[in-house]
């Protein structure tokens, strides 16, 4: 739970540049957001988290994670995330965001306890607001 007046750091991990832009714009419209980190693949995001394990003010509060990406996809990212999670200096909430409506993807995401929810794209500005409001 965030303290009154605190600002969140949000992380978007997605290779779709149009989605990155629209999601960032929607998220920034919320008054509880301090910064938005954007990564084009899971490997880039994982390396950032791993390099900043103990730097609380650089770590995101929420991650919006795509499944299908080059280099390291969302599933591979989660495998690595679970390994470093105990070393992170603050809790991070992960939402799997995908255009996939394949039941296997949804079931797999639901079976990973570190994924808070599976959200099907497109995600609207209202949906972002509701997620940020419930977190803050």
Q: State pTM to two decimals.
A: 0.91
d(CA 59, CA 46) in angstroms, rounded, equals 11
Q: How confident is the model at residue 28 (pLDDT cuts 50, 70, 90)?
A: confident
Q: Quick one: tokens of 132? A: 């940020």
User: Regarding the domain with residue range 8-135, which homologous superfamily does it belong to in the CATH classification?
Assistant: Response regulator (3.40.50.2300)
d(CA 117, CA 128) in angstroms, rounded, equals 13
Q: Quick one: tokens of 125? A: 């500005």
Q: Mean of the pLDDT values across residues 80-98? A: 95
Q: How confident is the model at residue 26 (pLDDT cuts 50, 70, 90)?
A: confident
Residue 40's closest CA among 63, 10, 20, 61?
Answer: 20
pLDDT in tens, 107-135: 999 999 999 999 998 887 788 888 877 76
Residue 63's closest CA among 115, 110, 7?
Answer: 115
Write down the pLDDT at residue 135.
Answer: 63
Of 18 and 32, which is predicted with more confidence? Answer: 18
Write down the pLDDT at residue 30.
Answer: 73
Instruction: State the average pLDDT for the chain.
Output: 88
Inter-residue contact 20 to 31 (CB < 8 Å): no
Helices 125-135 and 17-28, packing angle to 10 deg: 50
Q: How many percent of the chain have pLDDT more than 70?
A: 93
pLDDT of 4 > 50? The answer is no
pLDDT in tens, 48-78: 999 999 999 999 999 999 999 988 999 999 9
Task: Give the start-to-end residue ranges of the domains of the chain.
Answer: 8-135
């Amino acid at each position: 739970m965030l303290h009154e007046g605190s600002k969140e750091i949000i992380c978007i991990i997605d290779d779709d540049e149009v989605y990155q832009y629209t999601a960032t714009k929607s998220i920034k419209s919320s008054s509880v957001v301090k910064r938005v980190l954007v990564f084009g693949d899971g490997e880039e995001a994982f390396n950032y988290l791993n390099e900043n394990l103990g730097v609380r003010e650089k770590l995101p509060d929420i991650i919006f994670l795509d499944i299908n990406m080059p280099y390291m996809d969302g599933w591979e990212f989660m495998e690595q995330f679970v390994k470093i999670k105990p070393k992170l200096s603050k809790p991070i909430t992960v939402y799997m965001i995908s255009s996939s409506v394949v039941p296997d993807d949804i079931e797999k995401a639901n079976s990973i306890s570190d994924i808070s929810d599976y959200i099907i794209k497109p995600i609207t500005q209202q949906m972002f607001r509701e997620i940020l409001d419930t977190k803050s």
